[in-house]
A and B are shown apart, each in its own frame.
Chain A
Amino acid sequence: MKYLDEFQDPALARRLLDDIDATVTRPWAMMEVCGGQTHSIIRHGLDQLLPDGIELIHGPGCPVCVTPLELIDKALEIASRPGVIFCSFGDMLRVPGSDRDLFRVKSEGGDVRVVYSPLDALDLARRNPDRQVVFFGIGFETTAPPNAMTVYQARRLGITNFSLLVSHVRVPPAIEAIMTSPSCRVQAFLAAGHVCTVMGVGEYPALAQRFGVPIVVTGFEPLDILEGIRRTVHQLEEGRHEVDNAYRRAVTDDGNPVAIRMLEDVFEVVDRTWRGIGMIPQSGWRLSERYREYDAEERFHVGDIHTAESSVCRSGEVLQGLIKPHECAAFGKECTPRNPLGATMVSSEGACAAYYLYRRMQPPAPRIADAGSREVSSVG
């Protein structure tokens, strides 16, 4: 496909890698924020092509993964109700709640539907005026504008049987949380390209300055990612920490001002809990006062939710970049895409799913030599 294939050219990738090779003099650890980038990196084996010592720490940018368990349980409760059509992106179907998932709710008779776009859910509401249509609005700054526009359209068209279950999150507060964590090893960020397509780069200079980290806006194709890494390495080696845009074909400095205005109208910034990480101040959005009547949490008075998280799943540490997926004891054993213990094993942006799909890494053995199963091996 045009503007995708050209950015996967192996010969050009070699040139970028050669430049990285020639530039690096010591180890560096950088975090790619977005789970889409994580998948591209693991799928194409980019991390294995980099010089020794260049580590990619996988970030928390998987919206499905960080949606709090309590909200998943609320979704499952609402989706089970008669008279409700519950719409979601397909990624959400198998995300484990406390005791089941949306897929199970559907099998048990709930009307759960997968849509490509939130506008499809709005269409369903219009065609089913006697039903309540709920859309599970998750996602980062990339997905928030489509959902905002859908609520705006619902109000404009007088469609009242539509509501949004909101779990939107924002990248800059997450970067701040990562950098202020005592266990932080991150020395630079590859910023999520499509988040910046919407928001521009204006939120990042203050972060780069405050934490002394280069922040390079990076795309998703192999060449985009290698170029993001290349520019980051140059900055690190030269002792600079600036905001740079390596994804100019899709990102302008100001982002999309029309979308930003819509976000500011439809949503308001709130504190949000991230699954596996905890509460991050000012890190999410909810519907603003003007649109509150479209909030599914307000419309459906979901009773007390008692959540129960898996006791063995270490997805929180994976999401914070503290461990790699295969370092979790459950990885590939109790926890597989068929039977996921955590959302990171489900989502097309989850790091555990990427490792399982493309690399099938075995869990590392204990540090004491244990003949036969000592090596972390790659068979994928």
Chain B
Amino acid sequence: MCLAVPGKVLEITERDGTRMAHVDFGGVTKEVCLEYVPDLQVGEYTIVHVGFALQRLDEQSARETLELFRQMGDLDAEFGDQWGRAAEQSGLPLPNGVPGGLS
């Protein structure tokens, strides 16, 4: 029910004074009401629920989120607990006197 899926606006139309659009969901096209996001434009992505666009999908935010995920762990690899990682890989206890550790 709360399933809402991103789709791309293909064409904007009007029906009975209501702003509608054809929206593509990865090959399936549906007619969608745009009254709640009236400034949506052809080519933009929108979050659609039961035939209604509820919000413009913020593509920049989507890219930034993915980029953040991609970078996650990179800093840890650079600055993180090197002894701990080596110990985990080797299955050996941490040598005495080294800083950090995973435990």
B72 touches A250 (CB 8 A): no
Given contacts A18-B73, A249-B57, contact A89 B1 (CB under 8 A): yes
B3: A residues at CB distance < 8 A: 36, 194, 220, 348
A227 beta carbon closer than 8 Å to chain B:
yes
B58 beta carbon closer than 8 Å to chain A:
yes
> Shortest distance in angstroms between A6's beta carbon and chain B's nearest beta carbon?
6
Q: Which residue of A lies closest to B46 (CB)?
A: A250
Chain B residue total in the interface (Cβ 8 A): 38
Chain B at the A interface: SS class: mixed
A12 touches B1 (CB 8 A): no
B1 touches A1 (CB 8 A): no
A63 beta carbon closer than 8 Å to chain B:
yes
B61 touches A249 (CB 8 A): yes
B51 touches A3 (CB 8 A): no
A197 touches B4 (CB 8 A): yes
A349 beta carbon closer than 8 Å to chain B:
yes
Chain A positions 1-47 with a Cβ under 8 Å from a chain B Cβ: 1-4, 6-7, 9, 12, 15-16, 18-19, 22, 34-36
Residues of B at under 8 Å CB distance from A? 1-6, 8, 16-18, 25-26, 30, 33, 35-38, 45, 47, 49-52, 54-55, 57-59, 61-62, 65-66, 69-70, 72-73, 76
20 inter-chain pairs at a CB distance below 8 angstroms, sorted by A residue, are A3-B57, A3-B62, A6-B66, A12-B70, A18-B76, A34-B2, A89-B50, A116-B51, A139-B1, A142-B2, A146-B33, A146-B51, A149-B52, A197-B54, A197-B55, A249-B58, A249-B62, A252-B55, A255-B55, A347-B1
